[in-house]
Structure 1
Amino acid sequence: MHGWIILDKPLGLGSTQGVSAVKRALRAAGYGPKMRDMPKVGHGGTLDPLATGVLPIAVGEATKLAGRMLDSDKVYTFTIGFGVETDTLDLEGSPVATSDERPTRAGIEAILPRFTGPIAQVPPAYSALKVDGERAYDLARAGEAVTLASRNVTIHALSLETQDADSATLTAHVSKGTYIRSLARDIAQALGTVGHVTLLRRTKAGPFTLGSAISLDKLDEAAKARALEHLLLPLRAGLDDIPALSLTPDQAGLLRQGQVLAGAAAEDGQYFATLDAVPVALVEAQSGLVRVVRGFNL
């Protein structure tokens, strides 16, 4: 069993718990040590427990592409609650600053171009980043001061959806490494107030959208019916942004042995190499040479 199960992660569930839910479903459907072999399972992009939405779960050989998914762009819808900043920058934390100032819709729209394009942001103290070998959130929870370096990220698009007296909902298309909680904090401060994230929903991760996402209930129903295969997106679905490269049997054999193909008729770039629609490898072509980036055992 190889491919992707896209969860619509519910509120309160961690990303590793999402992986565990898929593993339980696989066992219930007969994939396990006493029946069919249990495939590897991993997620393609962490979501905080207080966030919901698209969580790609890689199954089998798709786990070899999970790292590539981590590097992909994401799209989020999020709500900023104005007037209170918390230590975690979301609903889970304790207030650390307050303000009576509330922005207007015109004020919010005017400030958004400042946060579009390449920007520098300081990650939240409550994050999984490491400081001297320790997770920042562990240090913060222990009451230690956490200082994280600014990092460069890209906000490809940022738009205001709705706004009322105390909050605003926005949609952001962002590069890897972007913290929406930091973005919300910085937008609020630029508007002369403070704020925190009250709602966060990921609507797209790499090529995957909510249109292909399923609930945990649907996952469980499919597992009980031994029909998980019907929910599984093909391994190729994680590589929709790159072209396919058809191979001859001899070429496929060489790549499966880790050898380099010479004289390939392919422009420079990455390709999804297949033999009669069977995935062989993710490859990189350069100057007529094709090298394996990730090989698939199918």
Structure 2
Amino acid sequence: MGRSRKGRDISGWLIVDKPAGVTSNAVVNKVRWAFDAKKAGHAGTLDPEATGVLAIALGEATKTVPYITDALKAYRFTVRLGQATNTDDAEGQVIAESDARPTDEQITAALPGFTGDIMQVPPKFSAVKIDGERAYKLARDDEDFEIAARPLYVDELSFVSRPDADHVVLDMVCGKGGYVRSIARDLGEALGCHGHVLKLRRLWSGPFDAEDGITMDLIQEQAKSPDLDQYLKPLEEGLADLPELMCTPEGATRLRNGNPGMVLTSDVEYGDEAWASLDGKAVAVGVYKAGELHPSRVFNQ
């Protein structure tokens, strides 16, 4: 029999305003330690030098991670024009340079080509797997390889400001699996000047906003203290993009046992994914069919 994981049975979402210079996994580990939580995970990696929203799920909230991972996310980033790097960001080595500098109008005119349903090639320094190996490991070993283009939905890509001839600030809203570094690289190529990401900040992720994020310093200061619990958001916030169905006590009991449970009448259509609640607490996520929710995930709150 395996050993049970030590820690508190605590559930909810913690929104961290991640600083530059730390990995997403390091933040998760710090949060798990600070709350003495049994289980923790994040909903979407940020590069080490990126800042902004890192949504961390504790306990039962980890079951709602896919709904945040799949949600739209917004980024503000600065593109350094005139230089390409091997990592497509400022951490890499410059591999190409150009004296060409597009005008504001040329940049704005190029942005629609990167919106809607596009195909994007991830950076070679990324966690994409190539024949079972991480691309960044192959890149560090100077291996010659190609990464296939992947579909990406970009809801919005807009011009924010032009601090100087070498830099442009852009906002992007996109779906799951997008690489801002690839946008900067490909935009630079389209403009004939090269480009890479200089700064990157995630403004929001699904229902979670950077303005609501707490700092790593605060987490450290209040670690292992009950005061830290006040910053936890209910796990139900991770289900904000799904319709809510209220269930009866009898229906809740059946759902918790993994069986279809009766839910109250709603305008949800047959076959829609939804979540059931009792007294405001999530009971299960599943598929609605003829007055019942057929559960796919059950919450033990």
| Coarse TM-score class (shorter-chain normalised) | over 0.9
Q: When the two structures are superposed, what TM-score results if normalisation uses the length of structure 2?
A: 0.92
Structure 1 residue 188 corresponds to structure 2 residue 188:
yes
Q: 2:283 aligns with which of 280, 285, 288?
A: 280
State the Cα distance separating 1:243 from its structure 2 match.
2.6
State the Cα distance separating 1:60 from its structure 2 match.
0.8
Q: Could you tell me which residue of structure 2 aligns to residue 253 of structure 1?
A: 253
Structure 1 residue 19 corresponds to structure 2 residue 28:
yes
Distance in 2 separating the partners of 1:142 and 1:66? 33
State the Cα distance separating 1:262 from its structure 2 match.
6.2
State the Cα distance separating 1:273 from its structure 2 match.
1.0
**1:167 partner letter:** H
1:1-298 to 2 correspondence within 5 Å? 1-27=10-36, 38-163=37-162, 164-223=164-223, 225-261=225-261, 265-266=265-266, 267-268=268-269, 269-298=272-301
State the Cα distance separating 1:206 from its structure 2 match.
1.4
Distance in 1 separating the partners of 2:44 and 2:18? 12
State the Cα distance separating 1:114 from its structure 2 match.
1.1
- How many positions carry a matched residue from both structures? 288
Q: Could you tell me which residue of structure 2 aligns to residue 32 of structure 1?
A: none
After superposition, the C-alpha distances for 1:93-120 in whole angstroms (9 at most, x for unaligned) are 1111111101111111111111111111
Q: Could you tell me which residue of structure 2 aligns to residue 34 of structure 1?
A: none
After superposition, the C-alpha distances for 1:183-219 in whole angstroms (9 at most, x for unaligned) are 1111111111101100010011111111211101122
After superposition, the C-alpha distances for 1:203-240 in whole angstroms (9 at most, x for unaligned) are 11111111211101122233254312101001111112
Distance in 2 separating the partners of 1:194 and 1:91? 13
State the Cα distance separating 1:264 from its structure 2 match.
6.0
Q: Could you tell me which residue of structure 2 aligns to residue 30 of structure 1?
A: none
State the Cα distance separating 1:247 from its structure 2 match.
1.1
Q: When the two structures are superposed, what TM-score results if normalisation uses the length of structure 1?
A: 0.93
Query: Is this contact kept in 2: 1:264–1:290, CA < 8 A?
Result: no
Cα RMSD (Å): 1.5
> Unpaired runs of 5+ in structure 1?
28-37
After superposition, the C-alpha distances for 1:148-179 in whole angstroms (9 at most, x for unaligned) are 00111111011111112101000000011111
**2:111 partner letter:** L
Distance in 1 separating the partners of 2:57 and 2:218? 17
Distance in 2 separating the partners of 1:224 and 1:265? 43
State the Cα distance separating 1:277 from its structure 2 match.
1.9
**2:204 partner letter:** K
Distance in 1 separating the partners of 2:166 and 2:98? 11
Query: Is this contact kept in 2: 1:79–1:169, CA < 8 A?
Result: yes
Distance in 1 separating the partners of 2:212 and 2:263? 39
Query: Is this contact kept in 1: 2:252–2:261, CA < 8 A?
Result: no
Q: Could you tell me which residue of structure 1 aligns to residue 6 of structure 2?
A: none
